[in-house]
Amino acid sequence: MGSYKYCICFTRKFVWRAAAPPPDVRQTFVEYSEGAAQMGPDQLRRFLAEAQGQAEATLADAERIIEVLRRRRCHHLPAMLSRPGITLDDFFHFLFSDDLNPPIRSQVHQDMSLPLSHYYIYTGHNSYLTGNQLSSDSSYIPIIKALQRGVRVIELDMWPNSTKDDVLILHGRTLTSPVEMIKCLRSIKEFAFCASPYPVVITLEDHLTPDLQAKVAEMVTQTFGDMLYYPKSDSLEEFPSPESLKNRIIISTKPPKKYFESKTVKDKQDDPQKGGKGSNDEAWETKSADLQTLHVSHDKNSSPEYRHIITVHAGKPKGRTRDALKVDTDKVRRLSLSEQQLERAAEFYALDLVRFTQKNIVRVYPKGTRFNSSNYCPLLGWLHGAQMVALNMQGYGRSLWLMQGLFRANGGCGYVRKPDFLMNIGPRAAVFEPEARLPVKITLKVKIYMGDGWHKDFSRTHFDVYSPPDFYTRVGIAGVPADIKMKRTRIKQDDWMPVWGEEFSFPLTVPELALLRIEAHEYNMSDMDDFGGQTCLPVWELKPGIRAVPLHDHKGNKYKSVRLLMRFQFV
């Protein structure tokens, strides 16, 4: 019996067939071509406006699409270029092309002239680490990769070197190897605006002595020059806007308090690279009336002192969290919360948190026990208005897929405007209640027609040694608790180009914070199902109609060929 089963599996063939338009595509082509064999520019423009929701589409837009499609088909048959329209095959190719028919807009389209506190900002945690939080190398390479992906907030932990005369970047009190701060700064300068022109924020975790803080001020100002923005006053009443800070770099850290230099204190300073306590703000604070503010003066450099290069003043809660969330009328600041502190604040002080983030910035960071650089779900922070929800970019997994999904919005520029309801103030200073039960606002209907491209991006034995893959897809919503839901298609057996043709409905109470999760898997009866691709798309950015949806790998890198053909409708 065992031998007989083996023979059946072995004789299953690796069959791949060319894509065929699904019935909905055929019907749509017949409808808009008015029964003709080809669709002309006027008919295609009407299809774009009516079926695809592109009311702004012009005849010239349709003509450009037709030209691209006909040249693709006729590059070896020039005589056919004289034909006026596109065939069903051309139309199907257009719909299944994520270059010509993407699921979301690719341009910046939101108002970028509001204060920074009005935006979610693509934020990294320990941006210099190559791996885990305990023993991996520190390097400028992860910083470059983050900036290339569009990350706008880079975190650097600053520590003295062993001789206390230079600044290193490393995860203090661990075995992580250091990297020179100047290398990180130079990498930021070179790659800061390769993916987006909007400002890069460098958050500095400061464990330095006053003289090294002075050295940092000098390094920062000399490295960035005119790219560096800092305010004329010690504090801001309102943050500047992303638009006003285009191609600028700003610094966010805790302002230094009044210091004094004491050989006794210096002698007690431990070496952080050896697992010691290290120097920090508290080790240098004093209540003595004789303290003086450090002023930086260099013969060869006119850089401002360390405290003056700080645009976004930061701090952590000291004492009660509710007190830390009090809004100052005359200045703005950044408050850092661990994921546990965020959970507690969301449970007990949700309205204070929302109110605070209307004017100020909240940065959330992973708890210290995430040694393997795993991540927490970012949705709780976004729901309460937190702008800088920091994740480990080297951690991967579904939490990071959500982060990547949110920041595909607004042209992928790294800044996404927060929903109006998080910024509105009602009668008696009322603000949005994250835990409130809300009615359904809109329903998203998603139809998954088919998938293609695995045979190009994967080896034919990647999923199954003896047969073609058995694909299914999972589709659902990540968002407020009431909207969270996941569904799946049936398994399509033995097919490199699976056709499902299944539709799902998702009632949404807060579509402004809903992300559409899409995953493809290959069913495995005896083991864990194999990963076949994923993407996450902001619901409020979805283009209605039939769309090509490209899939990405575990790390968020887009596959060259793997994509799904889907339809989106809002009812």
| pLDDT tens-digit map of 495-531 | 999 999 999 999 999 999 999 999 999 999 888 999 9
Run of H or E residues at 402: helix 398-406
Predicted local confidence at residue 18, as pLDDT: 73
φ/ψ of 226, rounded to 5, equals -70, -15
What is the C-alpha separation between 532 and 516, in angstroms, rounded?
A: 17
Please, which residues bridge with residue 550 across strands?
A: 563
Predicted local confidence at residue 4, as pLDDT: 42
What is the C-alpha separation between 49 and 43, in angstroms, rounded?
A: 10
Helix and strand counts by DSSP (H, E) for the chain:
17, 20
128, 397 Cβ separation under 8 angstroms = no
Predicted local confidence at residue 233, as pLDDT: 84
Is 171 labeled as catalytic in the residue annotation? yes
Q: Which of these is catalytic: 75, 93, 118, 171?
A: 171
**Which residues of the chain fall below pLDDT 70?**
1-17, 74-83, 258-304
Predicted local confidence at residue 82, as pLDDT: 52
What is the C-alpha separation between 276 and 483, in angstroms, rounded?
A: 47
Give Rg (Cα) of the chain.
Answer: 27
Do the domains at 23-95 and 437-570 have one common CATH topology?
no
415, 109 Cβ separation under 8 angstroms = no
What is the C-alpha separation between 422 and 425, in angstroms, rounded?
A: 9
3-class secondary structure, 91: helix
Q: Which of these is catalytic: 125, 207, 384, 521?
A: 125
Predicted local confidence at residue 323, as pLDDT: 94
What is the C-alpha separation between 311 and 324, in angstroms, rounded?
A: 19
Is 93 labeled as catalytic in the residue annotation? no
- Tell me, what amino acid is at 356? F
Please, which residues bridge with residue 504 across strands?
A: 446
Fold for 437-570, please state it: Immunoglobulin-like (2.60.40)
**116-429 CATH pick, 3.30.565.10, 3.90.199.10, 3.20.20.190, 3.40.120.10:** 3.20.20.190
What is the C-alpha separation between 363 and 390, in angstroms, rounded?
A: 7
What is the C-alpha separation between 114 and 218, in angstroms, rounded?
A: 31
Encoding tokens for residue 211? 């003289």
Fold for 23-95, please state it: Recoverin; domain 1 (1.10.238)
**Domain definitions of the chain by residue range:** 23-95, 116-429, 437-570
Encoding tokens for residue 284? 């240098």
529, 522 Cβ separation under 8 angstroms = yes
